[in-house]
A and B are shown apart, each in its own frame.
Chain A
Amino acid sequence: MLYFIIAHSAEAQPVIQHFKMQRVYKFSYTMFEADNVRLIICNTGIDNAMMATSVLLAHYIPTSNDLLINIGICGAPGEIGTMLLVHKITHNHHSCFPDILFKHDLQEISLKTVDTPCVSRSDNAVDMEAYGIYKAASRFFKAHQMVFLKIISDNFQPESITKEATKRLISSKIAIIQNTINQALSIFNKDDILSSQEIESIKNIAKKLTKAQNDALLDACRYYKLHYKKPLPQIDIQPFIAKTTKQQRSAYLNELIQTLTR
C-alpha cells in the first residue's frame, strides 16, 4: 500500500490522476483511494501535517510492505522544476533522517521545515510539513519506508506560485515519482518466510498447542523453508487430534520439530 501525504490539492491532483484515485469520505480530511493507494490532503503547516498523518495511519496501521510518500513543492536555491529527494529534515534544532537505501539519480538535500512561509534566501530547501509528517509517521514506518520528494517551485518568492503552475510542476515529474516509488519498494524485504496458506495450515494445529509450542513449531517451519529452500511439506494435523494427553502431543511436536530441522 502507498500512503501519500500531500499538503495541497493542487500538488495532489496530478498524483490522484496518475493512480486513478477516487474521493472517499472517511475522516474530516480530503482523502482519495485506489487499489493499494491512499492519499490525504493535510493542509499547510507542521501541526496539520502531523495531525492528518496520525489520523490516517492510526486508522489503517501500515505494514512493513507499505511506503509513505510526501510530495510537494518547496522553495530552494536552484533551478525551478528540479526534483529533490530529502535525506535530512530539520525543524528548529531537531533533525530526522529518512533512510535512502535505494539507487536513484535525484539530487539529495537537507530540508528545513519552517513555521511561516520563507521569503528570505536560505541555503536549504524549505517546506512547511515534512518534519511533522516524519514525526507522526515514524511511529508506523521504518526510516526506509518514508520518501520525501520536493520540487523546486521558487527561489524564496512564495507569492509567485500559482495553483496551475504547481499542478504543471508535479505533472511534469510524475514518471520520476513513479520510478522513485518503484526503486524504494524494490529493496524491501519479504514480510514473512511462511506464506499465508502455510501460516493458515499451522493455525489449525496451533489450537492444540500452547503459545510456546506454537512458536517453536513456527520457528521450525521457518528453519525448514530457509534451510532447504523448498515449500513446507504438508503437516498432518491428525496426530495432534488423535493424541489426547498433553505429554503425547508434546512428544509428537518434538518429533515433528526434529524432522523439520534435521
Chain B
Amino acid sequence: MNLSKLSHAELFSHLYIEEEVKDTPLAKETAKKFSKSKIILIKHYKDIFNRPNQDFGVQCKSKNLILAKKDAPFLYKGSFYSDGFEFENFFYTPLVLGCLYDCQYCYLSGMYNSANSVLFVNTQDFFQALSPFLKKPTLVAISYDTDTLAVESLASLTKQWIIYAKNQPNLHLEVRTKSANFNAIKSLTSSDSIVLAWTLSPQQIIDLYEHKTPSLKSRLNSIKQAIDSNWQVRICIDPIIYNEDFYSLYPSLIDEIFDTIDADKLFELTLGSFRMSSTHLKNIKKLKRSDLAFYPYDVNNNIVSYGKTKEQHILNIMLQKTMQYLPKSRIRTWQLQS
C-alpha cells in the first residue's frame, strides 16, 4: 500500500494490541496515529493472526494491524526459493508478519491464514539473537516475508536496523521493497554492507497483480534518489510473470529502468522467473482471485515453475536485454543454467 498516499484513518479499521505491549511507546504512538481505529486488546497475536476461520481474500479488502511481542526464534535460515548471495550465514528476520501490499503471486497468501499484519515491537530482542552469529559475515534479509520499508512510517524498523548494522562489520543487510519510500531513510548515510533492493515489474503487471503497491515510475524515482545518495541498489525483476505480453512488456521495462537510472551506478540487477512451493500455490488457488494461481505450471520437487525450457528462455531473453546496459558480472540469474 502506498502509505504516503493514504491517510492513516483509511488504513486499519482495527488495531489489535497484545495486553503485554499496550504501554510500550510504539503501541501508544501507533494508537495515536490511528486514532479512528478501534483498539482491541488481545492476549497473544496468534489469537487473531492464526485463527483458523479467516478469509485471506476478504481480509485483503480491509487489512488490520496487530502489535505484539515476538518470542524466540528471531532468526530463520534463508529459504531455498531465494538467493542467499553466497553468504555462509543467511537469515531472515520476521520483524513484521504479513504485508500491507497485496501481490496476487505472493506466497504469503498461501502461507498465512490472515491478511493482517503483525508488527513486533521488541526490535532489541532481534539484535540480541543475531549477535552470536556476527563473528562471521552474515546476511540478514530484513524485509523477507513482508515489505518493511512500506511500514517505515509506523515503526522505523529499517532505520533501526541500518543504524545497528553500522556498528557490526560482519553484518550485511538486504532491504527488499516495492515501496517508493526512500525518503523515510534519506537522512541516513549509505553503507557498503547494506543493499537496498527494489522489486520492479512492468506497469501493466503492477496493475494486474501488485495491488496497492506504488507505480513503476514512483519506485524508479525512489531508486534514483537512493543511488544519488550513494546507496548500493539492487534491482530485482523477480518474479517475471510470463504471459502473451511478456515479449513487449519485460524488455521495455529494462529500457525504462535505464532511461531513469545510471547503469554505472547500479550495484546489480537480479532476474528470476515465477516459482513457488506447490503447497502455497494450492492454498492460493482456494482464494480464487488470480489467474496466476491457475496456470498449468510444471511441478518439480514440490516447486511450481514455468518449467525448465520456458524458464531458461525467459531468463535468457531478459539477460540478453539487460546486457545492453550492464556487464554480465552485475546481473544475477541464479535460476539460469550456464
Binding site for B on A (CB under 8 A): 64, 87-88, 95, 97, 99-102, 108, 110, 138, 141-144, 187-190, 192-193, 216, 219-220, 222-223, 226-227, 257-258, 261-262
Contacts and interface: CB of A to CB of B under 8 A. Distances in A.
B55 A142 contact: yes
B43 A95 contact: yes
A189 B243 CA distance: 25
Interface of B: 13-14, 16, 38, 40, 42-43, 47-48, 51, 53-55, 57-59, 61-62, 243-244, 285, 288-291, 293-296
B58 A257 contact: no
- Which residue, B16, B38, B285, B294, has most C-beta atoms of chain A within 10 A? B294
Given A87-B40, A144-B55, A189-B58, A97 B48 contact: yes
A15 to B, nearest CB: 25
Contacts of B62: 101-102, 187
5 contacts: A87-B14, A87-B38, A102-B62, A143-B53, A143-B55
Given A97-B47, A220-B296, A138 B53 contact: yes
Contact of A95 (B47, B285, B294): B47
Contacts of A189: 55, 57-58, 288-289
Nearest to B48: A97
Contact of B296 (A108, A193, A261): A261
A95 B58 contact: no
Contacts of B288: 189-190, 192-193, 222
A110 B40 contact: yes
Contacts of B290: 226
B40 A99 contact: no
By Cβ-Cβ distance, the 4 closest A-B pairs, closest first, are A223-B294, A226-B291, A227-B291, A101-B62
A113 to B, nearest CB: 16
A262 B244 contact: yes
B306 to A, nearest CB: 11
Contacts of A257: 296
B291 A223 contact: yes
B47 A101 contact: no
Contacts of A222: 288, 291, 293-294
A112 B252 CA distance: 59
B193 to A, nearest CB: 42
B301 to A, nearest CB: 18
A108 B16 CA distance: 14
A100 B58 CA distance: 11
A155 B202 CA distance: 59
A216 B295 CA distance: 9
Contacts of A227: 243, 291
Contacts of A108: 38
Contacts of A226: 289-291, 294
Given A88-B40, A222-B288, A97 B296 contact: no
Contacts of B43: 95
Contacts of B14: 87, 100
Contacts of A64: 55
B59 A144 contact: yes
A97 B296 CA distance: 38
A256 to B, nearest CB: 11
A144 B40 contact: no
A100 B13 contact: yes
